[in-house]
Copies of this chain bind each other. A is one copy, B any other.
């Protein structure tokens, strides 16, 4: 194979420019931070993000929620099992489609989220302040 592709310049180019690499690093750092913030509640950042959209009136099927989170359906199946076991969500049968199921917040889930939101607000302010140039809406374009 073409060995000219394995130069120091190539290494530096990938290291400095790769959006996948940069996004994985940022995602790991932020996941760790928010996991620690939510840990007194026994929540992970991912569980928090999965529960937030269920606070309002939206009643997605599991697949719709997975798509919103840009995650695989198989991941959703596993994740919702954990939340159900902890009593934070319940799964409603869909009217009209016996295959589909719709997760909803339980009362316990709602109360836990009421505690989690202020923790999110504080930590997010700190993160945003340290990276003033970065907007969530910009990240949403990434990888599409």
Chain A interface residues toward B at CB < 8 A: 1-3, 5-6, 8, 10-11, 14-34, 45-46, 49, 52-53, 55-57, 69-72, 110-111, 113-115, 117-118, 120, 124, 127-128, 130-131, 133-134, 136-144
Contact = CB atoms under 8 A, between A and B. Distances in A.
Q: Is the interface of A mostly helix, strand, loop or mixed?
A: helix
Contacts of A118: 2, 5
A32 B73 CA distance: 13
Q: Which of A14, A22, A136 has the most CB of B within 10 A?
A: A22
Contacts of A21: 49, 52, 136
Given A27-B24, A30-B23, A14 B52 contact: yes
B110 A130 contact: no
Contacts of A17: 124, 128, 136
